[in-house]
Structure 1
Amino acid sequence: MIIDARPRLTKIVADVWRPLTALFLWDCAVTAFYMISPFKGPELPLTLFGTALALFLGFRDSSAYQRWWEGRTLWGAMINSSRSLARQTRNFLPDPEARDLKRSIVLRQIAYVNALRCQLRRHPDFRAGELLRFLSRGEAEPALKRSNVPNGLLDGTSRRIDDARRKGWIDTVQQASMEGVLVDIANAQGGMERLKNTPLPNQYRFFPQLFTRLFCILLPFGLVETLGVATPVGSTIAGLMFLAVLQIGDDLVDPFANTVHDVPMSAMCRTIEIDLLEAIGDEAPEPLQAERGVLW
């Protein structure tokens, strides 16, 4: 996520320079043809076209932002649920009998959120390494054999809570309370997987691209009568506005795409790691800092 308040002109240009260059060359060709040719085309209602396209792109960008914000909201719920699980683990389980189990549940939750981050960002190769940062090979192996590694970790945590109940360390009411937190965590994961695996409908992806490019093609025909030789500059600037709005929707539609525009999952996983380790009295790392104005 970009946290620098200043706009990044280089990033904007990097995203749209190819279609913008093609648009400028097309504008030059149309202007040159208009200047040397006696044929004058009909006046196009570009104001009407542009207004309709702007409304369409605005609605699409609003839908994309809603997806991005839902992803951020789900991760906020994950942070809160992780804190609740650590607090219940610390308070419900007795010392010193369940000290190792307390530590195991907390470390499993830290491993869980990092494994979920890797899964959402499509980094399966990093998943095992993230688990082994917090868990032993024997403890991580059952989850790594599952097709959904984070869900495997969550199942293992649930079994450990049930073992604590069987040993008499917690009662059924406390177990139900902890299971309720695990349900909240599973629901948040399910919402994230839904966002990741369900793209915007094809109409939202195809037609804005088509209409924006068609509008940019028609734009110089509507401006050349008024702007003359300045048409390439005016048409390219106007086209840049529409291409930039189109790109905004593409950037926000997947909040877990591992780009500078996605939800800062690495920073939130570090927040969870800090809070949970401090809850059991362990030394915690420093918060993740932004790199060149981007928080990952």
Structure 2
Amino acid sequence: MVLPESASLPRMIRYIGWPLALLFVWDVIVTLAYVYLPHPGFELPVLPMTLLGSALALFLGFRNNNAYQRWWEARTLWGAMVNASRSYGRAVLHLIDKRPDSQDLRHALVTRQIAYVNALRCHLRRQSCLDEIAPFLGEGEADGLKGVANVPNAILNETGALLSDALRQGWTDSIRRTQIEQLLVDMSNAQGGMERIKNTPLPREYAYFPTLFVHVFCLLLPIGMVDSLGLYTPLASTIVGFMMLAMDRIGSDLQDPFENRAHDVPLTSICRTIQIDLEQLRGKVDTPAPVRPVNHVLW
């Protein structure tokens, strides 16, 4: 996630990159051709360009609104995961009897939640997670997850089995067990929503046609403006093209919020926050530091 304080014109220009540079070169070529060639023959009236720009802005706005809704829903689901993880840790430590023989189980249940959220992060990013989550699981459990298609769901299922063991041992009762189980259901529902966003991208047309139309518009823009603006065409055309290219790029980056890119939901930071909260909850002192931004990007 790019932090707000990093917003600046030079950064935005670098963000657009080569398309903006090529647009400026094209604007200069069209302007010089119009000024110095005797009969350019490629003037376009202003009105059609205005209508085309208005239609394109509406099209981009519609796509970007949908892209942002996906990004915001992804962030909302991870916010629910943070709340559910905290509530789960508190419930495990206080709704399971505090007895010497139950302490290991209570701490294991809290610790494996750290493994669960990190496994979910890697699952959404299509990354391997077994080496990373092995320290938070029982001995040999990570090896048993090799080849499992949905590692976070398998961890959550085993958590439910451990809670059933606590019930059989008499360390909790059915009412308290149900309360903790409801938190697992909430986490499973949130995971399902995240997987829906990950596995159901916006239609391909939402990515292809806006970019195509923006590039066509940028090619036609100086041709339609040069008759009225003359030598000022490169300045005006590049500024308008910059806005269109920026809108297209932003919408493209926001529509897939789990791709481990700079504009995605900061899953690493959120998982680290959950880890710190849960480890402090069970009394650990030397917790890891929060994730810090790198070049104004929070991962």
- Do both share a fold (TM > 0.5)? yes
Contact 1:112 1:154 in 2 (8 A): yes
Q: How does 1:43-192 map to 2 (within 5 A)?
A: 43-44=45-46, 45-94=48-97, 95-124=99-128, 127-192=129-194
Contact 2:114 2:271 in 1 (8 A): yes
d(CA) in 2 for partners of 1:112 and 1:5?
A: 32
Equivalent residue, structure 1, for 2:226: 224
Sort the Cα spacing of 1:40 and 1:206 in 2 relative to 1 into closer, same or farther, 3 A: closer
| 1:280 to partner: Cα distance | 1.5
State the number of aligned residues.
Answer: 294
Equivalent residue, structure 1, for 2:38: 37
SS of 2:126 mapped into structure 1: coil
Of the structure 1 ranges 33-42 and 248-257, higher mean CA displacement relative to structure 2 is found in 33-42
Quick one: percent identity of the two aligned structures? 49
d(CA) in 2 for partners of 1:139 and 1:20?
A: 51
d(CA) in 2 for partners of 1:246 and 1:18?
A: 14
What letter matches 1:24 in structure 2?
A: F
Q: How does 1:5-24 map to 2 (within 5 A)?
A: 5-24=5-24
Contact 1:4 1:294 in 2 (8 A): no
| 1:53 to partner: Cα distance | 0.9
d(CA) in 2 for partners of 1:137 and 1:167?
A: 21
Equivalent residue, structure 2, for 1:270: 272
Partner of residue 289 from structure 1, selected from 268, 289, 292: 292
Quote the RMSD (CA, aligned, Å): 1.6
Q: Does 1:234 align with 2:236?
A: yes
Kindly provide the CA deviation profile for residues 167-189 of structure 1, in whole angstroms up to 9, marking residues without a partner as x.
Answer: 22111112211111111101111
Contact 2:214 2:245 in 1 (8 A): yes
d(CA) in 1 for partners of 2:163 and 2:143?
A: 19
Equivalent residue, structure 1, for 2:282: 280
What letter matches 2:158 in structure 1?
A: G
Contact 1:143 1:150 in 2 (8 A): no
d(CA) in 1 for partners of 2:204 and 2:18?
A: 23
**TM-score normalised according to structure 1 size:** 0.94
**TM-score normalised according to structure 2 size:** 0.93
What letter matches 2:277 in structure 1?
A: D
Kindly provide the CA deviation profile for residues 232-276 of structure 1, in whole angstroms up to 9, marking residues without a partner as x.
Answer: 222112111100011110111111121221111111111111111
| 1:106 to partner: Cα distance | 0.7
Sort the Cα spacing of 1:213 and 1:294 in 2 relative to 1 into closer, same or farther, 3 A: same
What letter matches 1:260 in structure 2?
A: A
Contact 1:74 1:191 in 2 (8 A): yes
| 1:136 to partner: Cα distance | 4.3
SS of 1:146 mapped into structure 2: coil
d(CA) in 1 for partners of 2:100 and 2:204?
A: 57
Unaligned runs of 5+ in 2: none
d(CA) in 2 for partners of 1:46 and 1:221?
A: 9
| 1:278 to partner: Cα distance | 1.7
Sort the Cα spacing of 1:42 and 1:238 in 2 relative to 1 into closer, same or farther, 3 A: closer
Kindly provide the CA deviation profile for residues 201-225 of structure 1, in whole angstroms up to 9, marking residues without a partner as x.
Answer: 1221121111111111110111101
| 1:41 to partner: Cα distance | 3.0
d(CA) in 2 for partners of 1:86 and 1:143?
A: 23
Contact 1:83 1:275 in 2 (8 A): yes
Unaligned runs of 5+ in 1: none
Question: Which of structure 1's runs of 4+ aligned residues deviate more than 3 A?
Answer: 8-11
Of the structure 1 ranges 144-153 and 9-18, higher mean CA displacement relative to structure 2 is found in 9-18
Kindly provide the CA deviation profile for residues 60-90 of structure 1, in whole angstroms up to 9, marking residues without a partner as x.
Answer: 1111111111011000100111111111111
d(CA) in 2 for partners of 1:205 and 1:292?
A: 27
| 1:107 to partner: Cα distance | 0.9
d(CA) in 1 for partners of 2:101 and 2:42?
A: 90
| 1:54 to partner: Cα distance | 0.9
